[in-house]
Amino acid sequence: MVTFTRRRLAAVALVATTALLGATACGGGDDEAAAGGPVTLTVDVFGQFGYEELYKEYMAGHPDVKIVERGTGSNLDEYSPKLTQWLAAGKGAGDIVAIEEGLLVEYKANPQNFVNLLDHGAADLKGNFLDWKWNQGLTADGKQLIGLGTDVGGMAMCYRKDLFAKAGLPTDREAVSKLWPTWADYIRVGEQFKAKNTGASFLDAATNTFNTILLQTAGNTTGYSYYDTSDKLVVDSNPAVRQAYDTTMDIIDSGLSGRYGSWSEEWVSAFKQSKFATIACPAWMTGVIEGNAGAGAKGNWDIAQVPGNGGNWGGSFLAVPKQGRHQAEAIELAKFLTSAKGQIGAFKAKGPLPSSPQALADPAIVESTNAYFSAAPVGKIFAEGAKSLKPVYMGPKNQAVRTEVENAVRTVELGKRSPEQGWTDAVENAKKAAAK
Amino acid sequence: MAVQLDARPPVAPAPGTTRPSRGARLSRFDTRYSPYLYIAPFFLLFGVFGVYPLAYTFWVSLHDWDLLGVEHPYVGFDNYRQLLADPDFWHSVVNTLGIFVISTVPQLLLALWLANLLNRQLRARTTWRMAVLIPNVTSTAAVAIVFAVLFGRDFGMVNWLLDHVGVEAVDWKANRFASWVAISAMVDWRWTGYNALIFLAAMQAIPRDLYESAAIDGAGRARQFWSITVPLLKPTIIFAVIISTIGGLQLFTEPRLFNSGTNAIRGGPLRESQTVTMYMFENAFAPHYNFGYGSAIAWLLFALIAVVAAVNVLLLRRLGGGARKEEIR
Output the DSSP codes for B260-327: -STTGGGSSTT-TT--HHHHHHHHHSTTT-BHHHHHHHHHHHHHHHHHHHHHHHHHHHHHTHHHHHHH
Confidence of residue B5 (pLDDT cuts 50, 70, 90): low
- How many Cβ pairs closer than 8 A exist between chain A and B? 98
| φ and ψ at residue A337, rounded to 5 degrees | -65, -30
Q: Which residues contact B208 (CB under 8 A, 6 or more apart)?
A: none
Which strands, in side-by-side order, build the sheet including A301-304?
Answer: A201-203, A276-282, A155-160, A301-304
* Distance, CA of A268 to CA of A263 (rounded, Å): 7
CA A423 to chain centre: 26
Confidence of residue B98 (pLDDT cuts 50, 70, 90): very high
CA A256 to chain centre: 25
Name which of B260, B281, B283 is nearest A264 (Cβ-Cβ): B260
CB neighbours of residue B27 within 10 Å: 17
Q: State how far residue B285 is from chain A, nearest Cα, in angstroms.
A: 6
Helix (H, G, I), strand (E, B) or coil at B7: coil
Q: Do A264 and B262 touch (CB under 8 A)?
A: yes
When the pLDDT of each residue in chain B is averaged and rounded to a whole number, the result is 87
Q: Do A399 and B149 touch (CB under 8 A)?
A: no
User: In the 8-state DSSP scheme, what is residue B138?
Assistant: S
Do the interacting molecules here have an ipTM over 0.90?
Answer: no
Helix (H, G, I), strand (E, B) or coil at B180: helix
**CATH classification for the domain delimited by B78-137+179-328, as one of 1.10.3720.10, 1.10.357.10, 3.40.50.12280, 1.10.10.10:** 1.10.3720.10
Polymer length in residues for chain B: 329
Q: B187-227, pLDDT tens digit by residue? A: 999 999 999 999 999 999 999 899 999 999 999 888 998 89
Helix (H, G, I), strand (E, B) or coil at B63: strand
* DSSP secondary structure of B184-225: HHHHHHHHHHHHHHHHHHHHTTS-HHHHHHHHHTT--HHHHI
Confidence of residue B19 (pLDDT cuts 50, 70, 90): low
Q: Do A75 and B262 touch (CB under 8 A)?
A: yes
User: In the 8-state DSSP scheme, what is residue B170?
Assistant: P
Query: The dihedral of CA B228, B231, B232, B238: what is its sign?
Result: positive
- The mean per-residue pLDDT over the stretch B9-38 comes to 75
* Distance, CA of A131 to CA of A355 (rounded, Å): 9
Q: Which residues of chain A lie closer than 8 angstroms to B293, CB-CB?
A: 436
SS3 letters across A326-378: CHHHHHHHHHHHHCHHHHHHHHHHHCCEECCHHHHHCHHHHCCCECCCCCECH
Name which of B174, B262, B285 is nearest A207 (Cβ-Cβ): B262
In a structure prediction context, what are the per-residue pLDDT tens digits for chain A, which is 436 residues long?
344 444 444 444 444 444 444 444 444 444 444 456 789 999 999 988 999 999 999 999 999 999 999 988 888 888 988 999 999 999 999 999 999 998 899 899 889 999 999 999 999 999 999 999 999 999 989 999 999 999 999 999 999 999 999 999 999 999 999 999 999 999 999 999 999 999 999 999 999 999 999 999 999 999 999 999 999 999 999 999 999 999 999 999 999 999 999 888 889 999 999 999 999 999 989 988 999 999 999 999 999 999 998 889 989 999 999 999 999 999 999 999 999 999 999 999 988 999 999 999 999 999 999 999 999 999 889 987 787 788 899 998 998 999 999 999 999 999 999 999 999 999 999 999 998 8
Q: Which residues of chain A lie closer than 8 angstroms to B283, CB-CB?
A: 436
Q: Do A267 and B171 touch (CB under 8 A)?
A: no
Q: Which residues of chain B lie closer than 8 angstroms to A408, CB-CB?
A: 269
Q: Which residues of chain B lie closer than 8 angstroms to A88, CB-CB?
A: 67-68, 291
Q: What is the pLDDT of residue A232?
A: 95
Q: Chain A residues within 8 A (CB-CB) of chain B?
A: 75, 77, 80-81, 84-85, 87-88, 106-107, 109-110, 112-113, 207, 260-267, 269-270, 273, 275, 397, 399-400, 403, 406-408, 410-411, 414, 416, 433, 436
Q: State how far residue B41 is from chain A, nearest Cα, in angstroms.
A: 11
With left for phi above 0 and alpha for psi between -120 and 50, is residue A74 left, alpha or beta?
beta
User: In the 8-state DSSP scheme, what is residue B10?
Assistant: P
* Distance, CA of A115 to CA of B29 (rounded, Å): 57
Q: What is the pLDDT of residue A17?
A: 45
Q: B219-265, pLDDT tens digit by residue? A: 988 899 889 998 899 889 988 988 898 999 999 999 999 998 888 89
Check whether B4 has a pLDDT greater than 60. Answer: no
- Cis link prior to B287 (omega < 30° from 0)? yes
Q: Which residues of chain A lie closer than 8 angstroms to B272, CB-CB?
A: none
Q: Which residues of chain B lie closer than 8 angstroms to A410, CB-CB?
A: 269
Q: Do A85 and B285 touch (CB under 8 A)?
A: yes
Q: Do B153 and A266 touch (CB under 8 A)?
A: yes
CA B249 to chain centre: 8
Q: B165-182, pLDDT tens digit by residue? A: 988 889 898 899 999 999
* Distance, CA of A335 to CA of A137 (rounded, Å): 14
Q: Do B287 and A400 touch (CB under 8 A)?
A: yes
Q: Please say whether the beta carbons of B308 and B242 come within 8 A.
A: no
Angle of helix A285-293 versus helix A265-272 axis, rounded to 10: 70
Helix (H, G, I), strand (E, B) or coil at B182: helix
A98 bridge partner residues? A318
Output B314 or A277, whichever has higher pLDDT. Answer: A277
Q: State how far residue B228 is from chain A, nearest Cα, in angstroms.
A: 31
* Distance, CA of B266 to CA of A124 (rounded, Å): 44
Compare all CA atoms of chain B with the CA of A84 and give the residue at the minimum distance: B68
* Distance, CA of B293 to CA of A436 (rounded, Å): 9
A376 bridge partner residues? A370
Q: B107-137, pLDDT tens digit by residue? A: 999 999 999 999 888 888 889 888 998 998 8
User: In the 8-state DSSP scheme, what is residue B119?
Assistant: T
Q: Do A436 and B290 touch (CB under 8 A)?
A: yes
Q: Please say whether the beta carbons of B278 and B88 come within 8 A.
A: no
What proportion of chain B, given as a percentage, has pLDDT over 90?
A: 55
Q: Please say whether the beta carbons of A77 and B263 come within 8 A.
A: yes
